[in-house]
Structure 1
């Protein structure tokens, strides 16, 4: 039985794949593109979360719990003894961990004591092996090989001149932040960072037979809100949150590519069925069963999807490596580990499975032509058999299902459920496809009507269109989906960038910003030099000067960005509409302003009580306002600067805003500011800050935009495939026309009119559906980034549709040329 099935598959299916190499190649290419896009998208998010997870395990080893600081200010070291006294704690390993350097030189400084060896981690092994070097060298540190230092080198770390006591071997260093790491004994690390008596983390090894959940509860009571007690993977989960928006938007674009590819597979399998009708009818007449034929076609489609996905996945690995460098710096730098490119273990299998399932599902629809026809009907031309007609029951079922899906998409987009709302975009497009299936006959008639406007060649093209309604409908859908995706997602992304840029426009009111990192990265640290503010104040021509702080903090299991401001300089747009009375309450530590996503995740609203865990204990505040704020990386909690310094034990500032005095020479004052600021600290004008942030937001959407244009190219291949099928299916007919004296030019124009009809109707439908989905997407993206996005249909959407149409029509040229150059004798001799 198995041998017979294999022989049948090899002779009638695999053999056909080799016989029609062009069609096979095209089908595999488009599935390969879809697989490549999926693998690259998975790899982008997997690289950041994987890097954090890798670092967590390299540092934490067999720790079952971690007590970590709420912010990068950490917590008081006196808490360590209280943690060690909790029943069930076998070992408590203290650590200090702080980022040092910036941009390409960013590294991680780790401080630990001898108890780290009990963790059984890469860090513990390294410190144990080279502890003697650290003990014998003043201010000694171990550095990773990627740091570019040798033993005995001097390097400046903070205010301390450290000495390289040893270099970690390449194998171990690669596991520790990619070799960008410096390790010191805990007192030395505290001295380097000027954080004597502070810790960032305590790794907990539970005693044997200890209930970890009960231990977590006991530790939570002991720390009393001054630190966070959680599983070690909390950092990985928080890192993934910063990528959610990029991941969802790119997945939506990749899903569009997969849907278009499925339609192309449908066309390819329809082509296979059409060309094999004589063979299939003969097998049926000889007593062959329909089920094995259908199974063989599904197996053929699975092979197309499998081999296309395998090759595409390999390309996707390299695509992801390139794409990860396109991520905004704010996302990459929002996590403590350096991002190392890696492909998650699930990426390739999931991409291959998705492509195989899509191929089989599309082929199953095409294969119904075999399953539904009688032996004598299989000998009829395409379009004559009942299998090519859409039954009324199917039309009504598709209409009801499509309407239900569209309604569900609207509900999902309008519901304030955060970044999950983005799923409404793909859902709406899917619902539109079902509704279009219900309207197959009007769509095909419209395509034929467009073709007929081109005169006699168009009349011939229209006849061909009406003979293969399903095939034409599937191709119209590929064009429609491509145009819809470009119009809807492209314009919604443009509106999102505009809304985000407008929300930061207030920064332009400040003349100069001084920060440790670029403003588009949301400067969260390190703190600026303590004397810098007074140096700037003393510069002639400087008017108002104000401080601000930003810091990531843990709130619940999520991460938020704390923002605190002094006076009217460098103030966030989140405070633009906050009353003076509420500002007074904030200054007294009675309330905070939060962004919508924070309110949603904590289930609070204006007037609600909110408990903030801080290094000084828990503080109860009132939610004064819930405001829209661009929260692509993390939600925002705004409080008074002095309150933040006191509660979070974070003196100083991470941003200094400077306004020039009226009548001053701006160029001269700016030059003086730059001269007063150390070289490694950023100085930007307010306008430069807005431009940089806008560019960063736009960069975050660039990957999705690139994927959308790939979808357009896939649709061009789909149109090529369909028209090539049309030419092959009418090979004898075209030969007879040529024998009767029809010119090559006439046949060329006849095929192009088919493409014009399909392209024009597909583009028009794409404009209509795309505009509707664009309107829906503004709500979905608004919930995703926690701000209001205005619907602004751009005149460019027509240009997008025309460009997408033009690329699709390019796919008509090869089959049109083939039809024109068809040898008369060979064409007539086909039968």
Structure 2
């Protein structure tokens, strides 16, 4: 039975694929591009979370729980004895974890004591094996292979100088932050970072037979809100939140490419069935059953999906490696581990599976023709049999379903569902496709009428269009999706960038910003050197110096950004607050939170919010909920002195400087630069706005690039479909040539056919794109928790025209093929 099925598949289906190499190649290329995009998108988020997960497991080893600091300030080391002696704890391994360097030199400092050997982690072995060297060498440390240091070399680390006692081998280095790591005895690490008596992490190994949930509850009581008790995977989950928005936006664009590919497979399979009608009728006439024929067609489509997905997966690995370098700096710097390019184990199977599902689903719609065609009816030309006619019941069902999906899209967009509101975009596109299916008749007539505008060649093209309504619908949908997706996401992204940039315009009101990292990266640490504020204030021409502080903190199961400002910093993000709220924050009587934080925690104005801090849990009142561009995390805003006191972070991470009236800005800036250490960044207010805007644009650049790839996919789909149309009608074209029709006439007829489909598809795409752009703007406002202003732009026509032009380019090769087809070959019997 299996052998007979394989022989049938090999002879009739695989043989057809090999016999029509052009069609097969085109299908594989388009499906491969779709798979490549999916692999690339999954690899982007997988690289960020995978890098954090690898580092977490390489440091944690056997640990089942981890006690971590609420912020990077860590917690008091005096908690360690209480945690180590808690019931159910077999071993408590203390660690200090600190970021050193910035940009490409960013590395991780790990401080640990002799207890690290109990973890059995990647770092435990080398530190235990080389403990003699570490103790024998004054201020000795171990370094990763990527640090570029030699054994015995001395280098500056924090506020001290250390000596390389040993170098981790390449295999171990790869697992530990890509080799960008310095491991030191706990006391030395605390000393060089100025954090004596502080810890960032305690790895917990439970005693045998102790339930993890029970132990977590016990340790939560012990820390009493001064630290966070969770599984080590919490770090990975929080890192995933930083790339969530990028993942959603790029995933939607990739799915659009997959939908276009599905339409191509539908067209290709429809044409294949039309070309195989004589063979199918013969098989039916000699007793062949419809079921095996349909299963063979579905198997053929699945084979295309597997082959296209497999080849595309390799392409996606390359695309993902290129894309990972384009992530916004704010996202990359917000996670502890250096982002290394990693292809998640699920990425390739998911991409290939999606391609197979899309191929089989599209082929299944086309293969329905086999069930409807009788043996004698299968011999008639395409478009004559009743297989190409949609039943009224199906049209009405499609109308109802399309309207229901459109209503659902509006509801999802209008409801504040956070990032899930973005589902309105895909729902709206699906509604448009289903409604266009219901309107296949008018759509075909419009395409034919458009083709007839091109004279006699157009009349011939119009006749061809009217004979194959399903093919016209499917081809028009590829153009519609390409144009509509470009218009929708291009316009919505522009609105988002403009609104997000406008929300940071107040940054330009201050003359200078001093921070340890570029202002495009949120300045969450390290703290600026002590006394720097006083030295800047003493510079002639400086009128006012305003210190502020930002820090990432764990709140609930997620991560937020704490922002502390002085009461007089009204030019900063505090400008979003009411005067009464500012006074309440300055008195330590409440906080302001961004919309996403309020939604995730279920709090509103007047609600009580419990904040875990190194000084214990503090209950505060939510005084205002503000819009804030939450691309990386939500925001909790408070007075800077309250933040310093509660979170034990004395100092500041950013300082704003205002010049005195009439001061020479260039001279004052140069003087400030002289008193600021060279590794500290000094940016003007205008430069800060530009940097933030560039970072926001960079975040949307990947999804926009993918959209233009979708347009190119639609171009290939149109090319393939028209080429199939030409090949299908080669006897008809041969007869016309034999009757004296010249090559130019045939070329123009194919171009008119393409123009009819393309113009109608593009017009619908512009209408759908403009409508969905509004929904996308509303949905993105909920996802990003800022007010996004919908602004239709003449660029909408530019986007649409460019996409249409690219799509119509796909009609040139088929037109040339039609004009150059030899008469004898065209009239030959297959």
Q: TM-score range by the shorter chain?
A: over 0.9
Shift of 1:588: 1.7
Q: Secondary structure at the match of 1:521?
A: coil
Alpha-carbon distance in 2 for matches of 1:654, 1:403: 52
Alpha-carbon distance in 2 for matches of 1:783, 1:390: 40
Alpha-carbon distance in 2 for matches of 1:314, 1:485: 26
> What is the aligned partner in structure 1 of residue 445 from structure 2?
445
Q: Secondary structure at the match of 2:598?
A: helix
1:830 aligns with 2:829: yes
Alpha-carbon distance in 2 for matches of 1:672, 1:48: 40
Residue 567 of structure 2 contacts residue 639 of structure 2 at CA under 8 Å; is this kept in 1? no
How is 1:656-667 mapped onto 2 (pairs within 5 angstroms)?
A: 656-667=655-666
> What is the aligned partner in structure 1 of residue 126 from structure 2?
126
> What is the aligned partner in structure 1 of residue 489 from structure 2?
489
Alpha-carbon distance in 2 for matches of 1:348, 1:501: 36
Instruction: State which drifts further: 579-588 or 259-268.
Output: 579-588
Shift of 1:569: 4.2
Alpha-carbon distance in 2 for matches of 1:10, 1:142: 61
Shift of 1:122: 1.1
How is 1:220-619 mapped onto 2 (pairs within 5 angstroms)?
A: 220-569=220-569, 571-573=571-573, 575-619=574-618
Shift of 1:505: 0.4
Q: Secondary structure at the match of 1:375?
A: coil
Residue 63 of structure 2 contacts residue 205 of structure 2 at CA under 8 Å; is this kept in 1? yes
> What is the aligned partner in structure 2 of residue 151 from structure 1?
151
Shift of 1:203: 0.6
Alpha-carbon distance in 2 for matches of 1:274, 1:147: 64
Q: Secondary structure at the match of 2:46?
A: helix
Alpha-carbon distance in 1 for matches of 2:237, 2:644: 27
Residue 475 of structure 1 contacts residue 722 of structure 1 at CA under 8 Å; is this kept in 2? yes
Q: Secondary structure at the match of 2:612?
A: strand
Alpha-carbon distance in 2 for matches of 1:379, 1:303: 27
Q: Secondary structure at the match of 1:63?
A: coil
Shift of 1:571: 4.8
Residue 746 of structure 2 contacts residue 819 of structure 2 at CA under 8 Å; is this kept in 1? yes
> What is the aligned partner in structure 2 of residue 686 from structure 1?
685
Residue 388 of structure 2 contacts residue 470 of structure 2 at CA under 8 Å; is this kept in 1? yes
Residue 226 of structure 1 contacts residue 613 of structure 1 at CA under 8 Å; is this kept in 2? yes
User: Residues 666-688 of structure 1: CA distance to partner in whole angstroms, max 9, x if unpaired?
Assistant: 11111111122111111100110
Alpha-carbon distance in 2 for matches of 1:823, 1:585: 85
Alpha-carbon distance in 2 for matches of 1:44, 1:465: 42
Q: Secondary structure at the match of 1:11?
A: helix
> What is the aligned partner in structure 2 of residue 774 from structure 1?
773
Alpha-carbon distance in 1 for matches of 2:349, 2:555: 35
Alpha-carbon distance in 2 for matches of 1:606, 1:446: 55
> What is the aligned partner in structure 1 of residue 89 from structure 2?
89
Shift of 1:578: 2.2
Residue 566 of structure 1 contacts residue 641 of structure 1 at CA under 8 Å; is this kept in 2? yes
Alpha-carbon distance in 2 for matches of 1:485, 1:88: 56
Instruction: State which drifts further: 806-815 or 739-748.
Output: 739-748
User: Residues 784-809 of structure 1: CA distance to partner in whole angstroms, max 9, x if unpaired?
Assistant: 11111111112111011111111111
Alpha-carbon distance in 2 for matches of 1:796, 1:12: 49
Q: Secondary structure at the match of 2:631?
A: coil
User: Residues 155-209 of structure 1: CA distance to partner in whole angstroms, max 9, x if unpaired?
Assistant: 1111111111111111111111111000111110000110000000111110011
User: Residues 323-343 of structure 1: CA distance to partner in whole angstroms, max 9, x if unpaired?
Assistant: 000000110110111111110
Residue 545 of structure 1 contacts residue 569 of structure 1 at CA under 8 Å; is this kept in 2? no
Alpha-carbon distance in 1 for matches of 2:23, 2:534: 72
Q: Secondary structure at the match of 2:325?
A: helix
Shift of 1:211: 1.7
Alpha-carbon distance in 1 for matches of 2:718, 2:68: 57
User: Residues 88-144 of structure 1: CA distance to partner in whole angstroms, max 9, x if unpaired?
Assistant: 011111110000001011000011111111011112112101111111222221111
Alpha-carbon distance in 1 for matches of 2:10, 2:762: 40
Q: 1:569–1:604: structure 2 CA closer, same or farther, 3 Å change rule?
A: closer
Alpha-carbon distance in 1 for matches of 2:45, 2:108: 21
Residue 143 of structure 2 contacts residue 168 of structure 2 at CA under 8 Å; is this kept in 1? yes
Shift of 1:567: 4.2
Alpha-carbon distance in 2 for matches of 1:730, 1:341: 49
Residue 546 of structure 1 contacts residue 567 of structure 1 at CA under 8 Å; is this kept in 2? no
Alpha-carbon distance in 1 for matches of 2:385, 2:232: 63
Residue 548 of structure 2 contacts residue 655 of structure 2 at CA under 8 Å; is this kept in 1? yes
Shift of 1:45: 0.4
Alpha-carbon distance in 1 for matches of 2:413, 2:360: 30
Instruction: State which drifts further: 605-614 or 674-683.
Output: 674-683
Q: Secondary structure at the match of 1:444?
A: helix
User: Residues 336-377 of structure 1: CA distance to partner in whole angstroms, max 9, x if unpaired?
Assistant: 111111100000000000000100100011111122111111
Shift of 1:388: 0.5
> What is the aligned partner in structure 2 of residue 210 from structure 1?
210
Residue 373 of structure 1 contacts residue 387 of structure 1 at CA under 8 Å; is this kept in 2? yes
Moved over 6 A (4+): none
Residue 143 of structure 1 contacts residue 168 of structure 1 at CA under 8 Å; is this kept in 2? yes
Alpha-carbon distance in 1 for matches of 2:94, 2:576: 44
Shift of 1:608: 0.6
Alpha-carbon distance in 2 for matches of 1:360, 1:794: 39
Alpha-carbon distance in 1 for matches of 2:187, 2:570: 36
RMSD: 1.0
Alpha-carbon distance in 1 for matches of 2:177, 2:61: 15
Alpha-carbon distance in 2 for matches of 1:96, 1:352: 43
Residue 495 of structure 1 contacts residue 791 of structure 1 at CA under 8 Å; is this kept in 2? yes
User: Residues 279-315 of structure 1: CA distance to partner in whole angstroms, max 9, x if unpaired?
Assistant: 1111112221111111111111111111010000011
Instruction: State which drifts further: 405-414 or 27-36.
Output: 405-414
Q: Secondary structure at the match of 1:196?
A: coil
Q: Secondary structure at the match of 1:122?
A: coil
Instruction: State which drifts further: 1-10 or 194-203.
Output: 1-10
Q: Secondary structure at the match of 1:563?
A: strand
Residue 97 of structure 2 contacts residue 200 of structure 2 at CA under 8 Å; is this kept in 1? yes
How is 1:19-30 mapped onto 2 (pairs within 5 angstroms)?
A: 19-30=19-30
Q: 1:87–1:146: structure 2 CA closer, same or farther, 3 Å change rule?
A: same
> What is the aligned partner in structure 1 of residue 645 from structure 2?
646
Shift of 1:815: 0.9
Alpha-carbon distance in 2 for matches of 1:263, 1:579: 53
Instruction: State which drifts further: 306-315 or 561-570.
Output: 561-570
Residue 509 of structure 2 contacts residue 571 of structure 2 at CA under 8 Å; is this kept in 1? no
Residue 570 of structure 1 contacts residue 656 of structure 1 at CA under 8 Å; is this kept in 2? no
* Structure 2 unaligned spans of 5+: none
1:704 aligns with 2:711: no
Shift of 1:597: 0.2
Residue 116 of structure 1 contacts residue 124 of structure 1 at CA under 8 Å; is this kept in 2? yes
Q: Secondary structure at the match of 2:355?
A: helix
